[in-house]
């Protein structure tokens, strides 16, 4: 009986939301328990987030502290838990362009993400970097319309 309940709970968990560092930096606490965040898209639209998908260039690797410092086009963000990511180590060097999926731990003064996945996108970094802001904007518009229509969240 636990399995169906667990499966139902998993379906309710929102997918990772593509965000920029600047959006997380200005996010507000979204739940009374403090376990979620709300990213402002426009004056009238907000998007709840807890799991995020971010992309950026590795600026600093601190394996002894289990962390990375990354930068996207809008600012820097920290990634923790990098030593426990399967197959993540090959892309843990300065200058690599990577994607990170993880849970938001802090938003200010600098966003901090607890990584669950890291992938190297360096091979086509120019393409990924150029497309990233457009991908973020597109997904956020779709999610905001879906929430407004009452289909999720």
Whether 74 and 22 have beta carbons less than 8 Å apart is answered as yes
pLDDT in tens, 91-133: 789 999 999 999 999 998 999 999 999 999 999 888 888 888 8
Q: Given the structure tokens 């560092």, which residue do they identify?
A: 21
Integer angstrom CA distances of residue 89 from 64, 82, 98, 120: 13, 8, 11, 10
CA-nearest of 41, 39, 36, 42 to 14 is 36
Please give the backbone phi and psi of residue 132, each rounded to the nearest 5 degrees, phi first: -55, -50
Whether 111 and 78 have beta carbons less than 8 Å apart is answered as yes
Q: Show Cβ contacts of residue 85 under 8 Å, excluding neighbours closer than 6 positions.
A: 115, 116, 117, 118
pLDDT in tens, 63-79: 899 999 999 999 999 99
Three-state secondary structure call for residue 68:
strand
Tell me the average pLDDT across 6-17.
Answer: 59
pLDDT band at 9; cut points 50, 70, 90: very low
């Amino acid at each position: 009986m636990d399995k169906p309940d667990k499966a139902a709970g998993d379906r309710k968990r929102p997918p990772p939301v593509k965000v920029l560092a600047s959006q997380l930096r200005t996010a507000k606490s979204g739940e009374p328990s403090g376990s979620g965040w709300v990213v402002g898209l426009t004056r009238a639209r907000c998007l709840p987030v807890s799991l995020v998908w971010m992309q950026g260039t590795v600026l600093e690797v601190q394996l002894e502290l289990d962390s990375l410092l990354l930068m996207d086009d809008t600012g820097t963000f920290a990634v923790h838990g990098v030593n426990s990511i399967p197959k993540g180590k090959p892309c843990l060097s300065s200058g690599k362009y990577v994607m990170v999926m993880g849970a938001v731990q802090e938003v200010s003064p600098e966003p901090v993400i607890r990584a669950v996945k890291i992938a190297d996108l360096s091979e086509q970094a120019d393409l990924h970097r150029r497309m990233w802001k457009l991908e973020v904007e597109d997904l956020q518009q779709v999610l905001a319309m879906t929430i407004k229509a009452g289909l999720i969240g």
